[in-house]
Structure 1
């Protein structure tokens, strides 16, 4: 008969608020869809590299759009 281990974690509240998404996460979600649509044969790693490189090339003004979107979504 297997021995049951007690969990050290306390049970999570299913009604708790989720953590706000970062500006990069919002950007990556949208950009990943575009990259996959343009080149569906890329691997997961190659897609991530392209999305990351695009984010790195953006200046502060271009990133401001994503920062604003993240701020709007983080308000409850």
Structure 2
């Protein structure tokens, strides 16, 4: 038996296109840098399989190997905080 429509749907507020983009994680910096290499080594791999291979590589890395990507993450977080602060100040005027 189908459910009756309640008619009380809430709408999500639209995201402001001028809002600053969220910072990328260290893993995402790594994945973006390594995706083409993994795809070249595994040309028959599907999208999901490539993600799995990237995750395995990330987990197999030492903290020293991850350090450059973590530094990129810290830099991106600082960028986001400054852009967010400027965006909020514009909104409160």
Q: What TM-score, normalized to structure 2? A: 0.66
Unmatched segments (≥5 aa) in structure 1: 1-5
Unmatched segments (≥5 aa) in structure 2: 1-8, 80-93
Pair 1:32 & 2:27 matched = no
2:78 is aligned to 75
Q: Against the structure 1 CA distance between its residues 44 and 11, is the aligned structure 2 distance closer, same or farther, given a 3 Å change threshold?
A: closer
Match of 1:48 among 45, 48, 51: 51
Structure with the largest fraction of helix: 2
Pair 1:57 & 2:60 matched = yes
In the alignment of these two chains, the number of paired residues is 72
Q: Against the structure 1 CA distance between its residues 11 and 45, is the aligned structure 2 distance closer, same or farther, given a 3 Å change threshold?
A: closer
RMSD over aligned Cα, in angstroms? 1.9
Give the secondary structure class of the aligned counterpart of 1:30. Answer: helix
Report the structure number with the largest CA radius of gyration: 2
Kindly report structure 1 stretches of 4+ aligned residues shifted beyond 6 Å: none
